Chains A and B, each alone.
Chain A
Amino acid sequence: MSYTLIPRRTRILLTTMLAGLLLSGCGVNNIPTYDESAKARWSDVQNQYQRRADLIPNLVETVKGYAAQEREVLTQVTEARAKASQIKVDASTVTDPAKFKEYQDAQSALTGALGRLLVTVERYPDLKSNQNFLALQSQLEGTENRISVARRDYIESVRAYNTELKTFPGLIWASTLYRSYKPMETFTVAEDLAKPPTVKF
C-alpha cells in the first residue's frame, strides 16, 4: 500500500481543510445571512412607512384649505398617523408577534383613513386641481407603491429565513449553533388590496 506516500499528519490536515470547504458550501452561514437580509428589508419597510407619515401633515393642511368642513375625516387621518408613530419599532419587532401585529394594524388603519380622505376629496374639484395637492397626491401614490414593494421584498426574505430554519441542513445549524435565532413575523393583511383609491383625472 502507498499510504506512506503522504504522511498521516498531512492527510489529516488536508482532510480537515476539505471538510471546512465542504461545510462552508453546506449552508452553515445561511441563517445569519438570511437574518441580516431580512432585517435590512424590514428597515426598508419602516423607512417607507415613515416617509408616508411625513407626507401626511402637509396633506391634511392642503385639504383643510379647501374642505375644512370635512373635519371628521381629517381628524381620523391625523389620529391614525399619531397612533402609528407612537409604536416603537426596531429590528427586534420582527421576532415579536404581538408587537408586529400592533404595528401592522396601526399602519392598516392609517391606510384606511387615507383612503377615506381621498374619496372625500373627490367632491371638491378646486382641491383636485390644486397644484400643491396634485404634487402631494403623486408623492403619496409613489410612497404607497414603495411600501408595497418593500413589503414584498420583506415577505420574501422572511420566507427564505424561516424556511432555512425549518429545513435540512439549516435545521441542524439552528438547533446547535444558532439556538437564539427565532422565526420572523410576516405581513398577514394584504395591504396591496387595501390601497387607497387614486383620484382619476
Chain B
Amino acid sequence: MFFQFRTAWGRAILGVLLCVAAFAAYALTFPELTGRVVDDAGVLDPSTKAALERKLAEFETKTTGQLVVVTLKSLQGTSIEDYGYQLGRHWQIGQKEKNTGALLIVAPNERKVRIEVGYGFEGTLTDAVSRLIIENSIIPRFRANDFAGGVGRGVDDIIQAVSVDSEEWKARAKQRPDDQPGLVDVLALVFFLFIVFMIVRSVAGQGRGYAQTGAGSRRGARGPIFIPIPGSWGSSGSSWSGGGGFSGGGGSFGGGGASGSW
C-alpha cells in the first residue's frame, strides 16, 4: 500500500514538473552573468571588454555600487523597458537594501539602448540625465556603428553622473550591515537543531525497543520527519557564492532610467 502511494506521488510530481517546464518555455530567458561586461550579441572586441571590466570593477571597489554592461542578441519580443528591469532583478545587480545598481543594455538587432537605474541611483542618475547620456554620448556613436566608443563613453558618463555622491556612499558602506547571518539567525538555528535532536533522541529511544518487538508499522508513521526550513536563510546565501567571480549583490530595480533607439 505504501509502495502504491509512492508511485502515485511520483507521477503527480512528474506531472507538475512537466507543467512547470512548459510554462518556463514562455518566460523570458536571461543571459548568464559571466562578468561585468556580458557581450551576448558579440559587438565588443576583447580589448574593449577588458578595459570596461577594469573601469567597472574599480567603480565597485570605490563606491560598492554595481554597473554592468550587457549586449543582447534579442529582446524576445518585449520592449527594452520590460526586459531591462526584469534582467536587473534576475541578476540582482546592486547592493541589497541600497539597490545601487545600473545596467547599460544594448540590443543591436532591435537597435535599442537603455540605461536601467536601480532605486539607489535614481537620485543622481535621474531619468533626464540618463536620457541625455543616451542622446548625446551613445546614440551618435551607435549610428556610426561605433559600439565600443558608444558603450565606453556611456559608461564614463554614467560613472561621472553617479560619482557625485561617492564620498557619501563610502561612509555609508562602512555602516552597511554585515552580509553574514546575524546573531539572531545563529541562535534560531541552534535552538531549532536542539529541538530536532531531542525529537530524534526520543524516536531513536523507542526504535531500539521496536527492533526487539518488531512493531514496524508504528515506525513508518513516525518515519521521515518533514522539517520546514525557514525561508529567510536562503537570502544570506547569495553573498557567499562567487568565490572570486562577479555576482549580483541582491539589489532590485523599479523601472527607472531612460531608453533610446537609433
Contact = CB atoms under 8 A, between A and B. Distances in A.
B239 interface: no
A180 interface: no
Chain A interface mostly = helix
Contact of B228 (A14, A24, A44, A138): A24
A44 B195 CA distance: 40
Interface string A129-142: 00000110011011
Interface string B197-228: 01100100110111001000000000001111
A10 B127 CA distance: 63
B257 interface: yes
A149 B88 CA distance: 13
Interface in A166-201: 201
Size band of the interface chain B makes with A? 20 to 34
Interface residues of A, number: 29
Contact of B255 (A1, A5, A134, A150): A150
Q: Secondary structure of the B side of the interface?
A: helix
Interface in A116-139: 134-135, 138-139
B195 A21 contact: yes
B40 interface: no
B202 A10 contact: yes
A61 to B, nearest CB: 17
A142 B258 contact: yes
Interface of A: 1-3, 5-6, 10-11, 14, 17-18, 21-22, 24-26, 44, 134-135, 138-139, 141-143, 145-146, 148-150, 201
13 contacts: A1-B213, A3-B206, A10-B202, A18-B195, A22-B226, A135-B128, A138-B128, A142-B127, A143-B127, A146-B255, A148-B81, A148-B255, A150-B255
> Which are the 6 A-B pairs with shortest beta-carbon distances?
A25-B228, A2-B209, A142-B127, A149-B255, A138-B131, A135-B128
